[in-house]
Structure formats: structure tokens, C-alpha cells
């Protein structure tokens, strides 16, 4: 799946483009390159519907000219001169950012666990075998359950960066991921549950998310009727249910640029308590095996652990080089510098500030899932939400729906609810009356990076309107 010379070819291409920049008299430039290879298998209606493979990639070039920058991308190095001229033309027409320069070379430490050779040796036939095993496992767990959608994929990715300031780095990463939609259509009732898992190393043939999908498809059967009460309600959100809202709202709120522009509900609150005093928020780009770990950020700056909230107080934020320089130049802040938090969506776009592996932790005691149900006494359990992308990252407000919700009374689950609306404010929900479970699970993100979250018991700030 991954050619032996993949990384070397990218680095050679970066050097070719860099040489052309030098020949054209350009003194400040940055060249990045990415190339991905992969196999995937899709499942639909309990059967394998598609097996495919392929790759994509290219080069990006950022040119600085007296604080102005231009960006262009290309696939073939033979078109490098045209792309360079395009980036240079854009730079000359762009506004100047006083003090904006490309970062200098600094040594970066290697991060373990980002590459698994066994993934690169995985074939399409191996994925077909795994898909068959998952379909069979779901049927064995419940004879009425079917994998109605989903798929499995493996990928290997090569990336490189070369700059006029001496940064010359590259590396390989791998990913094995899968997601399944399990449905039960019985007695004129259709219930379903989506669960997923991914890792830098090879997943087991039957990951833990498979029985969980069957479990929640069963838990939401035979809905009961409940009277919706006015006011906030305690909500136990599973990691899978909490992560979509958290990942839309919190990574945006913690970006330095958003804080400086007064576009975060935490703007102007540095050093103040913004969430419950036992809670901490940490961005750990150096986590071994982390899904969003990297030794260097999107600008080649060495990554690090950034403590953002400690004991409830806002003490940090995430910056890229350009964002920091721009906010200072525009007079919004007096000082800021990169925190090694520049991210890229690929070679086609310039870097921006963003998170890597974001952890929500507590210095207080953690609890088991069952303990939190008992402590809740009366409320709801939510395992997934729909419409999280509509949440407002500036205010923290959200209004979503869920059909994966259970009613709890007297510390016991009494049954599922067919559907409910859920609204509230994330800042208020995290401000107090919150407890975390002892089971942290990595979750994908709608915005950037990876969220490492436990099940969360929220005591206030959320309202449930049952249908």
C-alpha cells in the first residue's frame, strides 16, 4: 500500500520547488507535501457493497514578501514555477502583517506509536475478511440486528516540510478505522446505533464498538412516554454523545485568534474561572500513539503540551505563527507567539491555529457509568445527537435532537424515549455540577484534532424536550 520511496519522493519534490524559489530570488518560502494511500470496504444492507483503493496528494507553497503572504498548491513539480508565481502574485496584493516571519528551525522530539507497519501490509482482501467477521458478529449478538451501513479503511500517509528558515522534516503515519450503523427492524420498530473506532495501530478484528452498536440499537427499542418538565435537567452524556457538541464549541473557543477577536465566550477572561474548579483542559500534541499527535505542527514548529484550563481557570490558548502576528499587528493584543498549534487540512490550504489531542480531565474523583446513573437519580442518558454542527461556537448555545436517549428515575433506567430535543449552553453546562467517568475514549472531531473524553454527567445548563 505504501511505496518504499514515498517519503523520499516527497522530500525530493520539496527540494525541487525550493530550488526554483531560490532561483527566482525569493528569500522567504515554505514548501509542504502530503501523499496518502489506502484501502476501504463499504457495507450496506448487511452486505459488502464496495471495495476500493487509491491515493492522493500534492505540494503547497507559501511565500512571504515583507509581511505579505500568498499560497498556491500543485500536484506535479513540473508546474512548480507557475504555482510559485501565483503565490508571489497573491502575496504582493495581500495586506502586510507587521512582524510576520516564518518560524526558524528548532529541534523536535520523535513521537512513538504513529506508524504501524502491519497496517501498510493490510490488503483489500484483509478488509473484506474483517467486514465479513463484523457482519457475522453482529448477527451472532442479535439475530435481528443488521449492519445497514458503514465501512472499514486503512491508510498510510507521508508528509514533508522544507522552509527557507532551515526546517527540513518528514514522516510517516498510519490509520485503521471503522464505523458501523447497526439496525434492528422488528415488530414495526426500527432502531439503530452508529459506533466507530480508529487508531494509529491496527485494530482488533472485532473492536469494542461493535457490541456497543448492537447494545444501543436494543436499548432504544420499545420507547416509553414521559412528561417533559420545564427547566434544566441532569444529563448523562456518553463520550460518543458528548463529543460532537464539545468538538464544535470548545476547540474554537480556545483558539487565540477567536479569544482576541472577542469571538469566544471566554474572551477577556484569561486568569478567571470559566468552568468547574476541578476541571482541566489540556492539548497534548506529543501523546504517544495519539490520533492527532505530531512532532512538528503545520509550520514545522516543535509541538508540545499546552495547558489551557487549570483548576477551572483559563490560562492559555492555541496559536499559529501567522495568527499571533496578525492579532498583534491589528492591535487586539500586546503579545502572543506560536504554541506549536498550526494545523493544515492538507497541502491545499495554508496553516491555521487548531487543537491536536484535547483532554478534559478532573482532579476530583471519577466514577463508573453505573455510579453516575445512581447519582443522577432522575434525568436522561444521551448516546448520540443530530445537528451538532449548528451549535454556536461564539456563544456556546446549541439546540440538537436525539433518538438515542434513555429516561432515568430513582437511579434506574426505566426505558428509552422515541425522540427528544436537547438545548442549552456549553459554557454554562461545564461551569458546575459536572462529574466525569473513569473511562476516557478518543472521539473524532467536527472541527480539528481529536477529543479524549469520558462519559460526562452534567447537572445544569441543558434542557430536554421529549417528543
**Entry pTM:** 0.94
CATH 3.30.2290.10 segments of the chain? 6-219
CA-to-CA separations, 254 to 26, 200, 224, 332, 356, in angstroms, rounded: 35, 26, 40, 16, 12
Count the helices and strands in the chain (H runs, E runs): 10, 22
125 membership: H or E segment, kind and range: helix 124-141
Environment class of 165 (CB within 10 Å of its CB; exposed 0-12, middle 13-18, buried 19+) = middle
pLDDT above 60: residue 447:
no
Q: Which of 229, 271, 269, 266 minimizes the C-alpha distance to 250? A: 266
CATH class of 6-219: alpha beta
Interval 56-109: pLDDT, tens: 999 999 999 999 999 999 999 999 999 999 999 999 999 999 999 999 999 999
In degrees, rounded to 5, the angle at the alpha carbon of residue 112 between the alpha carbons of residues 106 and 114 is 100
Q: Which range, of 144-148, 367-371, 428-432, averages the lowest pLDDT?
A: 428-432
Interval 133-159: pLDDT, tens: 999 999 999 999 999 999 999 999 999
* Alpha-helical segments (H) within 31-113: 80-93
8 A C-beta contact, residue 97 and residue 325: yes
- pLDDT-derived band at 166 (thresholds 50, 70, 90) equals very high
Interval 262-313: pLDDT, tens: 999 999 999 999 999 999 999 999 999 999 999 999 999 999 999 999 999 9
Interval 235-268: pLDDT, tens: 999 999 999 999 999 999 999 999 999 999 999 9
> Residue 38 CA to chain centroid, in angstroms?
20
Amino acid at each position: 500500500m505504501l511505496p518504499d520511496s514515498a517519503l523520499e519522493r516527497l522530500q525530493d519534490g520539496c527540494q525541487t520547488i525550493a530550488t526554483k524559489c531560490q532561483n527566482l530570488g525569493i528569500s522567504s518560502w515554505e514548501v509542504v507535501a502530503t501523499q496518502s494511500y489506502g484501502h476501504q470496504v463499504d457495507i450496506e444492507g448487511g452486505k459488502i457493497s464496495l471495495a476500493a483503493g487509491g491515493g492522493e496528494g500534492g505540494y503547497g507553497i507559501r511565500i512571504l514578501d515583507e509581511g505579505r503572504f500568498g499560497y498556491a498548491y500543485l500536484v506535479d513539480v513540473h508546474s512548480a514555477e507557475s504555482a510559485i508565481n501565483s503565490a508571489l502574485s497573491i502575496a504582493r496584493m495581500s495586506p502586510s502583517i507587521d512582524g510576520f516571519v516564518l518560524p526558524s528551525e528548532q529541534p523536535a522530539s520523535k513521537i512513538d506509536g504513529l506508524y504501524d507497519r502491519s497496517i501498510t501490509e493490510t490488503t483489500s482482501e484483509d478488509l473484506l475478511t474483517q467486514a465479513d467477521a463484523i457482519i457475522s458478529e453482529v448477527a451472532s449478538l442479535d439475530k435481528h440486528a443488521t449492519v445497514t451501513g458503514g465501512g472499514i479503511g486503512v491508510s498510510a500517509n507521508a508528509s514533508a516540510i522544507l522552509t527557507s528558515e532551515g526546517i527540513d522534516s518528514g514522516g510517516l503515519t498510519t490509520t485503521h478505522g471503522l464505523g458501523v450503523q447497526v439496525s434492528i427492524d422488528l415488530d414495526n420498530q426500527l432502531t439503530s446505533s452508529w459506533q466507530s473506532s480508529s487508531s494509529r495501530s491496527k485494530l482488533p478484528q472485532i473492536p469494542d464498538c461493535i457490541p456497543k452498536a448492537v447494545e444501543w440499537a436494543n436499548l432504544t427499542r420499545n420507547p416509553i412516554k414521559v412528561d417533559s418538565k420545564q427547566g434544566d435537567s441532569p444529563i448523562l452524556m456518553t463520550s460518543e454523545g458528548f463529543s460532537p457538541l464539545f468538538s464544535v464549541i470548545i476547540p474554537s473557543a480556545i483558539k487565540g485568534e477567536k479569544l482576541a477577536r472577542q469571538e469566544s465566550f471566554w474572551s477577556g477572561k484569561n486568569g478567571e474561572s470559566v468552568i468547574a474548579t476541578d476541571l482541566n483542559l489540556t492539548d497534548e500534541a506529543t501523546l504517544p500513539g495519539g490520533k492527532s499527535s505530531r512532532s512538528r505542527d503545520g509550520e514545522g514548529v516543535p509541538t508540545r503540551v499546552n495547558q489551557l484550563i487549570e483548576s477551572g481557570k483559563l490560562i492559555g490558548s492555541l496559536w499559529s505563527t501567522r495568527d499571533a502576528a496578525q492579532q498583534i499587528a491589528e492591535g487586539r493584543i500586546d503579545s502572543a507567539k506560536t504554541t506549536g498549534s498550526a494545523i493544515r487540512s492538507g497541502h491545499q490550504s495554508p496553516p491555521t491555529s487548531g487543537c491536536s489531542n484535547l483532554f478534559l480531565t478532573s482532579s476530583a474523583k471519577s466514577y463508573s457509568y453505573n455510579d453516575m446513573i445512581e447519582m443522577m437519580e432522575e434525568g436522561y442518558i444521551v448516546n448520540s445527537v443530530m445537528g451538532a454542527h449548528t451549535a454556536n461556537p461564539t456563544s456556546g448555545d446549541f439546540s440538537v435532537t436525539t433518538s438515542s436517549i434513555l429516561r432515568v428515575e430513582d437511579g434506574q433506567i426505566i426505558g428509552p424515549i422515541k425522540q427528544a430535543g436537547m438545548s442549552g449552553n456549553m459554557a454554562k453546562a461545564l461551569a458546575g455540577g459536572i462529574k466525569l467517568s473513569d473511562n476516557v475514549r478518543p472521539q473524532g472531531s467536527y472541527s480539528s484534532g481529536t477529543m479524549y473524553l469520558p462519559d460526562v454527567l452534567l447537572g445544569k445548563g441543558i434542557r430536554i424536550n421529549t417528543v
